[in-house]
Amino acid sequence: MKVVIIGAGFAGLKLARSLNNKPGFEVLLIDKFNYHQFQPLFYQVATAALDASNISFPLRKAFHQSKNVRIRLATVLEVQPQNKIVIADNGDIPYDILVIASGADTNWFGNQQMMENAFPMKSTVEALQIRHRLIQNFEDILISKDPEQVKRLMTIVIVGGGATGVEMSGAIAEMKRYVLPADYPEIDFKQMKIYLMEGGPKTLGAMSEKSAEESKRYLEHFGVEVRTNTVLKEYDGFTATLSSGEKIETATIIWAAGIRGNVPKGIDPSLVVRGNRIKVDRYNKVSGFDNIYALGDVAFMETPEYPNGHPQVANVAINQAKNVANNLRRMEMKSNPDILEEFEYNDKGSMATVGRNKAVVDIPKPKLHFKGFIAWIIWMGLHLFLILGVKNRILVFINWVYNYITYDQSLRLIFKVFYKPKLEERKNFGKDIERTTMKQQATV
């Protein structure tokens, strides 16, 4: 059974590992990156608390002892269900079973202006771009003669009051309090403004009222201005216009307002529902197909308990992958292939951290709520457990301990890298293109 998996996020990687070295399966895992990214800690990369390598794990290393799992670095252009083929930028890939685990990307809600001027944070590279912008802002402040420009550079707006927005706001506020004044003694950080915009009535909308209230209180304690029931309407790179009509001068907007499923071309649009997710049955099979599955953020499954689909979190993706792996093994062994298990999500809870010793945790069964230091320890423990690779866990833990003791981290670096043109570009533009282009600096 040739299983092709699109995407090496939580769902795709878990499925590949569950089928690893299982007889009867040939697995091909496709991703545009050659590493797995631990998305819940992107914000710590963006705020220089962790190095990008600490939350990334090479895909090939995860399958060193594998006899049946292979990796392909490619971008999927289209799927052709009628031909059982995936068309990638490096060739066509046939399949018996196709699993779409392509995850989700930033949802701009059709706002082209925001897409051009705001910073998303859905990959390691995007997190590094935010880190560069934050640090470069303060370097620019030191040489600026324009008070308006200084004010704009000193103002940061985070859009989206979910876990990502709350954690990002808290991390920047901690930098403002503990780190930046020592790095830039010439700057008066009392003038720095951090805004968190949320279109709904509360932060952490998917969590309890207690968690929402406490997260807002923690953020305000750190000096973050929280605006609920507020939508960012326009941003031209200089001025943000809110739904209330208020205007905020800012050079940096970080967009954490929503996600949108990455649906590959070739999927019938009638199967794509709200949030750009593919409609699946209780076995994660795409409606109308017996050999195509969708998992994780890109899948929309209606159940009595979740009529609007499951939450787009790692735990859902991981457990869906486990269930599909078990069902595929039953089908391959041909032992009661019709007795397949439906997916049922067991919500173990949700959590978010605002900063040092400040976090909130909700557990539904039994109904429990934690806050403060205890919740912060629970948050750290779970994230360490989920990070792939013992070495990465150790490095992240060491970084957290060092940061906790010293209130500092030595990762506030601005890298300049050289762009080397591809062979095709050198052919098109002549032999001198390599020499001239190597002199052009591209910022990561």
Residue 81 placed within a domain: yes
Domain boundary residue, one of 271, 299, 333: 333
CATH number of domain containing 394: 3.50.50.100
**% of the chain at pLDDT higher than 90:** 82
Contact (CB, 8 A) for 222 and 355: yes
pLDDT band at 389 (very low <50, low <70, confident <90, very high): confident
- For residues 354 and 443, membership in a common domain is answered with no
> What is the spatial distance between Cα 67 and Cα 17, in angstroms, rounded to a whole number?
12
| Pair 236, 354 in one domain | yes
Is the peptide bond prior to 366 cis by the omega test (within 30 degrees of 0)?
yes
pLDDT band at residue 417 under the 50/70/90 scheme: low
Rg, C-alpha atoms of the chain: 23
Of 304, 333, 362, the last residue of a domain is 333
Instruction: Say if 191 falls within a structural domain.
Output: yes
The band of 121, judged by pLDDT with boundaries at 50, 70 and 90, is: very high
Side-chain-facing half-sphere of 188: CA atoms under 13 Å: 5
Query: Looking at the predicted structure, is the pLDDT value of residue 425 above 60?
Result: no
Is residue 419 predicted with pLDDT exceeding 80?
no
CATH of the domain at 17: 3.50.50.60
As a whole number of angstroms, the distance between CA 157 and CA 136 comes to 16
Question: Residues 218, 240: one domain?
Answer: yes
pLDDT for residue 416: 65
138 and 285 together in one domain: no
What's the pLDDT at 52?
Answer: 92
Same domain (yes/no): 250, 263: no
Phi-psi region of 416 (alpha: psi -120 to 50; beta: other; left: phi over 0): beta
In terms of domains, do 137 and 191 share one? Answer: yes
Question: What pLDDT, on the 0 to 100 scale, is given for residue 332?
Answer: 87
pLDDT in tens, 400-411: 999 899 988 778
Domain edge (last residue) among 287, 306, 333: 333
Does residue 427 lie within any of the structural domains? yes
Q: Tell me, yes or no, whether 221 lies in a domain.
A: yes
Distant-in-sequence, close-in-space partners of 84: CB < 8 Å, separation ≥ 6: 94, 95, 96, 98, 291
| pLDDT confidence band for 337 (50 / 70 / 90) | low
Instruction: Kindly report, residue by residue over 10-19, the tens digit of the pLDDT.
Output: 999 999 999 9
- Cα separation, 431 vs 343, in Å, equals 58
What tokens does 341 get?
């298990």
The residues, ordered by sequence, that sit 6+ positions from 16 with a Cβ below 8 Å of its Cβ are 5, 8, 27, 29, 63, 69
**What average pLDDT score do residues 49-78 get?**
94
Own/partner long-range contacts of 394-397 (Cβ < 8 Å, ≥24 apart)? 395/51, 395/54, 396/41, 396/50, 396/54, 396/55
Looking at the fold, whether 144 and 232 belong to one and the same domain comes out as yes
- Do residues 116 and 196 share a domain? yes
Average pLDDT over residues 256-280: 94
Main-chain phi, psi angles of 151, to 5 degrees: -60, -40
Residue of 410 and 394 predicted with greater confidence = 394
Tell me which amino acid residue 103 is.
G
In angstroms, what CA-CA distances link 136 with 113, 143, 250, 252? 23, 11, 14, 11
pLDDT value of position 320: 97
The rounded distance, in Å, linking the Cα atoms of 376 and 405 is 16
Task: List, in sequence order, the alpha helices (H) in 84-146.
Answer: 112-117, 124-143
Cα–Cα distance for residue pair 281/303, rounded to 1 Å: 9
Q: What six digits make up the tokens of 12?
A: 């795709």
- Among 257-266, 282-291, 415-424, name the one with the lowest average pLDDT: 415-424
| Domain presence at residue 50 | no
Our count of domains for the chain comes to 3
How do beta strands 104-106 and 97-100 pair? unpaired
Residue 427, pLDDT above cutoff 50: no
Nearest to 377 by CA among 342, 351, 398, 395: 351
d(CA 235, CA 337): 54
Whole-number average pLDDT of the chain: 90
Question: Same domain, yes or no, for 203 and 301?
Answer: no
pLDDT of 418 > 60? The answer is: no
- pLDDT(426) > 50: no
Give domain status of residue 41, yes or no.
Answer: no
Q: Are 194 and 126 in a shared domain?
A: yes
Residue 441 belongs to a domain: yes
With 90 as the cut, is the pLDDT of residue 50 above it? Answer: yes
420 and 388 share a domain? no
How sure is the predictor about 335, in pLDDT bands with cuts at 50, 70 and 90?
low
pLDDT digits (tens, 9 = 90+) for 205-257: 889 999 999 999 999 999 999 999 999 999 999 999 999 999 999 999 999 99
Q: Does residue 194 contact residue 166 with C-beta atoms inside 8 Å? A: no
Residues in Cβ contact with 188 at an 8 Å cutoff, skipping those fewer than 6 apart: none
Q: What is the mean pLDDT of residues 138-147?
A: 94
Residue 285 maps to a domain: yes
Q: Residue 187's domain spans which residues?
A: 112-257+349-406
